[in-house]
Structure 1
Amino acid sequence: MSGLLQFKGMKMLTSLGFVFAAVSLASCVPVQQVSSRSKVLLVSFDGFRWNYDQDVDTPNLDAMAAEGVKARYMTPAFITITSPCHFTLLTGRYLENHGVIHNMWFNTGRFPGTAPGLKTGSIHFPGGKAKYQGEEVSMKLVEPAVFNYSNETNWRLNIDTAMEWFTVKNLDFIALYFGEPDSAGHKYGPESMQRKNMIKQVDRTIGYLRQRIRESGLESNLNLIITSDHGMETVLKTNEIHIGAINNFTFKDIQFELLDYGPNGLLVPKEGKLDHVYSVLKNAHPKLHVYKKEEFPKRFHYANHPRITPLLLYGDPGYVIHGRYKVQFNKGEHGFDNEAMNMKTIFRAVGPAFKQGLVVEPFESVNVYALLCELLGITPERHDGSLETMKPMLRESAPRAPAKKLPVMLGMALLLGCWGGMH
């Protein structure tokens, strides 16, 4: 646990994020030349709950569904927060297998690079600014330290940049990230008028994106996927969970804590204090779930990783966890059980590889990576998803490169088993 303990009291960096995932996507050499390949644009609108389009007029999202594929909803990985869920999208792995267990962590694990076969781009995608032992995404646009994620003008400029990268720089794959409607959902709540207005902005942006795809001559060979990392839940302000106020609990028994970050908590009790802390917290609040690592529910695919702490906590939907002091005042939050409907998110896809006017049954986000690899004509690394789950949305005659069987990159396992300090 020594590496984990390094970050107590420090401002954390986000997860490995896009770069490692992009290299993972590009780590197999494609079997046909770049000029004749299908391209893929993956767009994430952070915190877009599965039903946000049902109380707002969204003509562009509706048109995309009519001309392509719409999932009734998509189930994100647990825990339902930004960096881990984006990493699942791009690796096809649950959190316990890709190792990005939280937004708040850093890592010095090494990435032994392979020869990328694809040209990839990141525009504001989580983690896209970093290098990993010299490996980085082909092209990237990184937001400054102080950045307005809601600026619609900036959104359109980023779309223009993506079109230029596809046409002038001949990139194969771009991941484009928007920080809304997550921010609006947090600040004002998922049922607020501000969130509804933000959905209208998102829909206008999708209309502009599809217009620019047509104007750039990309419609015949660009597959567009629009999705998100998680949904949003209204925070309940009654009968709140305050760890510091629980009888017989003291932070003097704790060596490390990660609390005050939505409904999730990670604790490392001091030596000899594990059973005591567990027994004190276990039934302390009716909406708080407390587990020893080895007893955490297997369905979450979360606890079986060296970085996970001996004690794990999570709250029922709507209930966030307060630690030493109350510092959370959001009206909306995520991170809850991924089976809770308000954590579900969206999936839309349109392009030459996709059927038209098809509504598919819900699926897990862990399957998206296999779809990306199929569209790009590369053999996927080891993953937890299934291409068979996604195949019904694809045209049988879609122009996709046949994948070539190549060995699995052994360096991934080495990276995900190490701790350290990413700078």
Structure 2
Amino acid sequence: MKKISVLFFSFFFLLAFSQVDTAQVVVPNRKNSVDALSKPYVILISADGFRYDYLKKYNAQNLLRFAESGVTAKAMIPSFPTITFPNHWSLITGLYPSHHGLIDNFFYDYKKEKFYAMSRKENAEDGTWYGGTPLWSLAEKNGTLSASMMWVGSASNAGGMRPSYYYHYHEKFSPAEKVEKVLDWLKLPENVRPHFISLYFPEVDGGGHHFGPDAKETADAVQLIDEAVKNLVEKVNQLGLKNVNFIFVADHGMIKVNTENPLEIPQMLRDKTRFDYYNAQTLVRVVVKDPTEVKAAYRDLKKNKTDDYKVYLDKRFPRKLKFSARDDRFNRIGQILLVPEPSKIFLEKGKKTSAGKHGYNPYKVPEMKAVFVAFGPAFKENKKIGEFQNVNVYPVITDILGLKISEPIDGKQKVAKEILK
């Protein structure tokens, strides 16, 4: 297969940190409890941007084979907005973005009076930005060691405890190198061996963004990850560990967008004395500085809009998406939202975009849906299920590891009951 080194750089994480630290971080003096020693293992793998239909579209033979031996979903429905940081944090906390606070890759918190940007290490590793209890923190609090290979938020102290083993985010490791480092964790003595491991691959997302979801480069990236997962499973099996379970997911899908005729931000929003707006290109969030002007601004935006996008008040945003005023626990969303019709995007003059994007409503744009494959002794065999929301992955993992959920989550037990033995 042709080497596609460009795909080792995801669209969202290009040059994320100026100082690249590739060393593993090990939290000292942690050991598995006596109870944890006999627990199963769970390896949660995210291939960023791996659309639900890529398995068959690009003939990912190994993942298809694993799916036949275990559980596969028609699709997994990402949380809104269907973008990277919010959905990785939803997967790992069982909460919708509006409930855990990571409502975008970039946003402003008016209470903190600070910006959050996923590309800033001081933000990404500051747990005060993140609500909820991530799975590694829950496991550690229950005496079960965990490890993370660059999952969103895993280098932060969110939830009160970092994984016992983790890396600061960088893109120096190839998929094959990441596999070897996971194997190194599983070769540790049992008293310090992690039973929950989260592993992140950015390559498919990179291909989809740079070249589009139908490009050869994206197909090559799917094959690259398919091979990496095969090698991981084969080498883990050679270790002779009992009850190792694998869950393969993605944060969202991908769609080719219209870059030739982008939408313009409405002129009235450029009045910085009245408005702040935050443009994710597939969603524009508007903060009206004077709350008494919200309804008037909404009416003006509705009156002057085109058919290429919709305008919503936060109070009237589709309830199914869990992104309305009633859901906004951290007051970060804004009072007015502009939602382009797929595959339109809002693009400001001088700003860059990409061939493929995500962020749209997953219930109306099937290309936003993600993959779900799970296999191992804990899972039923040759089981096919329908679509489900990604917040339901959390209770699947807590059930396998015997972890008591410590605070309310949005995920439900229904999927776990359907797919676990």
The aligned residue for residue 257 of structure 1 is 277
CA displacement 1:237-295 (0-9 Å, x = unmatched): 3542110xx45553335442211x23011121232543443233225121212212112
Amino acid at match of 2:311: V
- Corresponding position of 2:206: 183
Return the alpha-carbon distance in structure 1 between the equivalents of residues 238 and 301 of structure 2: 59
Supply the distance in 2 between the matched residues of 1:307 and 1:192 (Cα, whole angstroms).
Answer: 36
Q: Please name the residue that 1:419 is paired with.
A: none
SS of residue matched to 1:285? coil
Q: Deviations over 1:330-381 (max 9, x none)?
A: 0000011021210011111111111111111111111111111101101223
Q: Deviation of residue 387 (structure 1)?
A: 1.1
Alignment of 1:126-205 (within 5 A): 126-132=152-158, 135-144=161-170, 147-148=171-172, 151-164=174-187, 169-205=192-228
Partner of 1:92: 94
Structure 1 counterpart of 2:120: none
The amino acid of 2:399's aligned partner reads: E
Query: Aligned pair in 2 of structure 1 residues 99, 51: CA closer, same or farther (>3 Å)?
Result: same
Q: CA deviation at 1:193?
A: 0.6
CA distance in 1, matches of 2:250, 2:239: 25
Partner of 2:253: 231
What does the per-residue CA deviation read over 1:360-418, in whole Å, with 9 as the maximum and x for residues that have no partner? 111111111111110110122311222123312122xxxxxxxxxxxxxxxxxxxxxxx
Question: Structure 1 237/273 Cα, relative in aligned 2: closer, same or farther at 3 Å?
Answer: same
Aligned equivalents of 2:395 and 2:268: distance in 1? Answer: 48
Letter paired with 1:38: P
The offset of 1:326, in angstroms, is 4.3
Partner of 1:322: 347
Distance 1:31 1:310 in 2: 47
Tell me the secondary structure at the aligned position of residue 234 of structure 2: helix
Q: Distance in 2 between matches of 1:39 and 1:385?
A: 21
Partner residue of 2:408? 382
- Match in the other structure for 1:267: 286
Alignment identity in percent?
28
The separation in 2 between residues aligned to 1:346 and 1:267, in whole angstroms, is 32
- Tell me the TM-score normalised to structure 2 length: 0.79
1:225 CA displacement: 0.4
Q: Which residue of 1 aligns with 2:79?
A: 77
- The partner residue of 1:68 within 52, 70, 81 is 70
Counterpart of 2:312?
A: 291
Q: Counterpart in 2 of 1:413?
A: none
CA apart distance, 1:314: 2.0
| Residue type at the aligned position of 1:379 | K
CA contact (8 A) 1:241 1:285 kept: no
Query: Is the CA contact (8 Å cut-off) linking 2:269 and 2:277 kept in structure 1?
Result: no
Matched position secondary structure for 2:203: coil
Does the 8 Å CA contact 2:310/2:339 hold for their aligned counterparts?
yes
Answer whether contact 1:247 1:280 (CA < 8 A) is retained.
Answer: no
Q: 2: CA distance between counterparts of 1:168 and 1:225?
A: 24
Q: Which residue of the partner structure matches residue 4 of structure 1? A: none
Which residue in 1 is equivalent to 2:300?
Answer: 280
Aligned equivalents of 1:290, 1:209: Cα separation in 2: 46
Query: Does the CA contact (< 8 Å) of 1:314 and 1:321 recur in 2?
Result: no
How many Å separate the matches in 2 of 1:168 and 1:262?
A: 48
For 1:290, what is the secondary structure of its paired residue? strand
SS in 2 for 1:171: coil
Question: What one-letter code is carried by the residue in structure 1 that aligns with 2:300?
Answer: V
Q: Secondary structure at the match of 1:87?
A: helix
For the residues of structure 2 that align with 1:12 and 1:257, how far apart are their CA atoms? 23
| Compared CA separation, residues 342 and 162, structure 1 to 2 (3 A) | farther
How far apart in 2 are the matches of 1:276 and 1:205?
54
Q: Which residue of 2 aligns with 1:372?
A: 397
For residues 346 and 189 of structure 2, what CA distance do their matches in structure 1 show?
44
- The CA RMSD measured in Å over matched residues stands at 2.7
Letter in 1 for 2:186: M
Consecutive unaligned residues in structure 2, runs of 5 or more: 1-14, 18-31, 108-115, 117-126
Hey, what does 2:332 align to over in structure 1? 307
Aligned length in residues: 361
Question: Using the alignment, how far apart are the partners of 1:95 and 1:153 within structure 2?
Answer: 31
